[in-house]
Amino acid sequence: MGFFLETLFGGLMAGMLYALIALGFVLIYKASGVFNFAQGAMVLFAALAMARFSGWYPLWFHFESRLLANLLGFVTAAALMVAVAWLVERLCLSRLVNQDGITLLMATLGIAYFLDGLGQTLFGNDIYKIDVGMPKEPLLVLQGTFDGGVLISQEDLVAALVAATLVALLALFFQKTATGRALRAVADDHQAAQSIGIPLDRIWVIVWSVAGIVALVAGIIWGSKLGVQFSLSLVALKALPVVILGGLTSIPGAILGGLIIGVGEKLSEIYLGPMLGGGIEIWFAYVLALVFLLVRPQGLFGEKIIDRV
């Protein structure tokens, strides 16, 4: 039972990180109605900026405080992601208002390749370290309840708590603020939103900025665990099954989808892997997403679209 709980907790914590990345996809889709293929590149670009600036500032200004370096690096990386959001709106999205969804989709692909190349140009292509002081030692709990106790990664626990806090704040932002309601209106119909005075350009800058900050937090967490390298953008691919499972327009769906996939892939790898030859954790999420596409393509919480003619 103790080993099962270890696996379950590990899956839940991994699921929260998947949900955090999936939020970036949901945010962009809710504001523009298009799937943002640049989200993985945004995670990588933001993590590279954080890693490099937090390393450069002590050299430039001759101080040794890691906390100050990380704080300055985070603020600079966040400002850079806001600048990217403004440039994306000004140079790309503002010229594609009311265009077909496939046009915006191809635009996000172009943005992804641009950010990948810009990241290499500005920050290099080595493996960089992000050290934000997350505890690395495992934590042993419930020793009196289960023989040998339950081993929990403190780093994963802290990361899951940070992700859960950010998810909750974003859910409140969308549901309780005027800007959040405006974002939902823009997602439903660009022309109708403009006709009632909602500034489309400002809304898109806001949502891409928020998605950039989410990408930065996700990049810091994954960069702390794995190091900042260009394979980090592939981590975002795990968020694709999450949004398919939970629904492209639902923040609660992103949370539940992330938890289901995180737990499912861990349990299946441990208990089904020996019978099926292992490697289940790699493909489990995509097979589950395929099943949902066949059975319920709008996801658990997605809105079913009905076209009347």
Q: How far apart are CA 86 and CA 92, in angstroms?
A: 10
d(CA 276, CA 162): 35
What's residue 98's pLDDT? 66
**pLDDT grade, residue 302 (50/70/90)?**
low
| Contact by Cβ (8 Å): 43, 218 | yes
Provide the pLDDT for residue 306. Answer: 54
Task: For Cα atoms 104, 107, 109, give the angle at the middle one, nearest 5 degrees.
Answer: 120
3-state secondary structure of 150: strand
pLDDT (tens digit per residue) in 174-229: 778 887 777 777 766 666 777 777 777 788 788 888 888 988 998 888 888 878 87
Q: How far is CA 55 from CA 60, 229, 265, in A?
A: 9, 15, 35
Q: Are 49 and 215 in contact (CB under 8 A)?
A: no
Please state the domain extents for the chain.
Answer: 30-235
Q: Is the pLDDT of residue 72 over 90?
A: yes
- Which is higher by pLDDT, 276 or 253? 253
How many other CB atoms are found less than 10 A from the CB of residue 273? 15
Residue pLDDT, tens place only, 105-133: 788 888 888 988 888 888 888 888 888 88
**Integer Cα distance of 262 and 189 in angstroms:** 34
The dihedral through the CA atoms of 271, 277, 282, 285 has a sign that is: negative
CA 212 to chain centre: 9
Residues 6+ apart with CB under 8 A from 272: 280
Cβ–Cβ under 8 Å, residues 7 and 200? no
> Which pLDDT value is given to residue 83?
92
Q: Which residues contact 259 (CB under 8 A, 6 or more apart)?
A: 11, 12, 15, 16, 19
DSSP one-letter code for 302 = P
User: Per residue in 266-291, pLDDT tens?
Assistant: 888 888 877 777 778 778 888 888 88
Look at residue 299 in the predicted model and tell me its pLDDT.
77
The packing angle between helices 39-61 and 66-91, to 10°, is 140
Percentage with pLDDT > 70 across the chain: 91
pLDDT at 75: 94
Q: pLDDT tens-digit profile of 229-249? A: 777 777 777 788 888 888 877
Please give the single-letter amino acid code of residue 105: L
Give the model's confidence band at 97: pLDDT under 50 very low, under 70 low, under 90 confident, else very high. low
**pLDDT value at position 50?**
92
**For residue 309, pLDDT beyond 70:** no
CA separation for the pair 142, 61 (Å, rounded): 47
